[in-house]
Amino acid sequence: MVTPAPEPPGIRLSFIQQRFDEGTAKANITVMNYSGRQLPVRSVGLDWAGYPGPLQRRPYLVPTGFTIDLRYWLPRPDCRSDAFATAPVGVVTTATGTIRRRIDAEGLRFLRRIWKLDCNQRLLRRSVRLEYAGPWRTVRSDGEPALLGSLVLTRRSGHTPIALTDIQGSPIFELALGHPRTLDARRHRVGVPLVVSSGHRCDPHSRGQVTTPFTFRLWATIGGEPVTVIAVPAPPVQVRMLAFLDRACAGQ
């Protein structure tokens, strides 16, 4: 049996976003209390140019020896800033003062990825409206049932060419894009064919344990610049996809 090394004494702060919160403003400030005393937290936040905003009230008594994730709602990002010119700092206030610590390496990886994804999504949304649309119909793809619809890009501003390059499904859905995939400078709207299939993941464990069934990742270019976004379908489309999955799995 291996005994883990003891944690160094003190208070450390980190940042995390759970997988089921991807694509939302929900995140967490992680408080690691190895100070030898209880830590009566009043508020938490970030001191960082990428996510400027006030501290958020989160009263919680963190016992010594515990690591606790406290909810932190991401403020509107400043995507024009040189965000990582200075190191992000986590902040905790208590009844007796303020604790400031640099976000550790693991938290910094989360923060970099989430900030970039957030800015990408805002850039894409300023340029186009993206929606999953019908008419939906059941087809055969590689001999298996599939749901055929489209991803519709409707221009909101500018004339910059926008192209979809790839899409990734989830543990229970496989997605594939057809052609055309580009909204060129002369067009206002384009529908990109979208094929949805079960990916042969019909076992009860896969379906029962999945926490992110609709967290679909989309790769695109805006004026040639690559961006990655999370594109979650609207609730009525989710219902349609689940109904298709029920029928597809029942036929296996």
Closest CA to 177 of 150, 210, 155, 209: 150
**Average pLDDT for runs of 10 along the chain of length 252:** 64 94 93 96 96 97 97 94 88 95 95 93 92 93 90 93 95 93 92 90 73 92 91 96 90 65
Q: Is the dihedral of CA 34, 106, 168, 51 positive or negative?
A: positive
Burial class (CB in 10 A: 0-12, 13-18, 19+), 146: buried
pLDDT in tens, 18-28: 988 988 899 99
Sign of CA dihedral 202, 205, 207, 210: negative
d(C-alpha 208, C-alpha 27), whole Å: 24
Q: How far apart are the first and last CA of the chain?
A: 44
For the stretch 72-93, pLDDT in tens is 999 999 998 688 888 999 999 9
Report H helices in 33-155. 105-127
- Can you give the pLDDT at residue 59? 97
Instruction: Give the model's pLDDT for residue 7.
Output: 65
